Amino acid sequence: MGNPEKHGSKVFLLVPLFAIFVVCQPFLLSVPAAYSEDSSGKFSGALAEKDPAADSDAAVKPSSQGKIDTEDFGEGEATEQYIIKSDDILEVKMFPDEEKEISGDYKVRKSGTISFPLLGEVEAAGLAEEELAQKLTFLLEKDYYVFPQVNLRVKEYHKSIVVILGEVKQPGTYEVETQTEFTLLRAISLAGGFTDIAKLSNIKIIRKVGGAEKSFMVNAEEIINGRKKDVRVKENDVIVVGESFF
């Protein structure tokens, strides 16, 4: 027979261990559901690492036909920074400039430069307004002025071509200013508006993207009803409004 004192001590130790198991059992059973490994070796469940791309509904996915899902195409682009181009006219104001040698209007040449007092030819095309203002400030401060302040804006935008076809009242080729606020509904308005048989949910925009021609389908009904933001129209876009057969 064993020592009764030893047996008693074992029972005394097992009782609290059993109580701990009873308390923790619900949690232990729930762990596999929250953190499990699938057949591919990836973890799933509430504790699994989230894929950032999975939460993004804004991903633009090219299809096999070279088209792009237009859920996000161009929406909200009217807020992007405008990039200066050839034939834009820039209004420049500098302080101090008592002699009015610097302040004035400057046209961006075909070469992409402006002829600027003291500085000569300065590359302007390809820069945003703020970037060019900073560049002029730096060059003037470097050799000519003490703490100059240069303010710059595009006073007049260059003209570019947009083609509007299909079910609009005045289809054709239009010269427009490629400012950031030029959108699809403005383009349709320029072409006289939709015809009575226009299918507003079936508008195609054909655009050069990275040297390749791609097409985007846009639903103007959702834009008009406020469910979607208007789509920006870019230089050399071709807009085709479909016909409703019902």
The residue with greater pLDDT, 54 or 19, is: 19
Q: Give 88-97 pLDDT, tens digit per residue.
A: 999 999 998 7
Which range, of 33-47, 120-134, 198-212, averages the lowest pLDDT? Answer: 33-47
**Residue 23 has what pLDDT?**
52
CA distances (Å), origin 130, targets 24, 35, 62, 127: 62, 50, 34, 8
**Residue 73 has what pLDDT?**
53
Q: Which tokens go with 114?
A: 């402006």
**Residue 96 has what pLDDT?**
84
**Residue 44 has what pLDDT?**
42
**Residue 3 has what pLDDT?**
53
**pTM of the prediction?**
0.56
**Count of CA atoms in the C-beta half-sphere (13 A) of 151:** 5
Tell the residue number behind the tokens 């002029």, with chain if given. 136
Question: What average pLDDT score do residues 62-75 get?
Answer: 44
The strands making up 159-166's β-sheet, listed across from edge to edge, are 172-177, 159-166, 238-243, 198-209, 212-218
Question: H or E segment at 90?
Answer: strand 89-95
Question: What average pLDDT score do residues 28-48 get?
Answer: 42
Which range, of 8-17, 22-31, 61-70, 146-155, averages the lowest pLDDT? Answer: 61-70
The mean pLDDT value of the chain amounts to: 77
**Residue 97 has what pLDDT?**
79
Which range, of 14-18, 25-29, 45-49, 173-177, averages the lowest pLDDT? Answer: 45-49
Q: Give 224-234 pLDDT, tens digit per residue.
A: 999 999 998 98
Domains of the chain are 89-156 (3.30.1950.10), 159-243 (3.10.560.10)
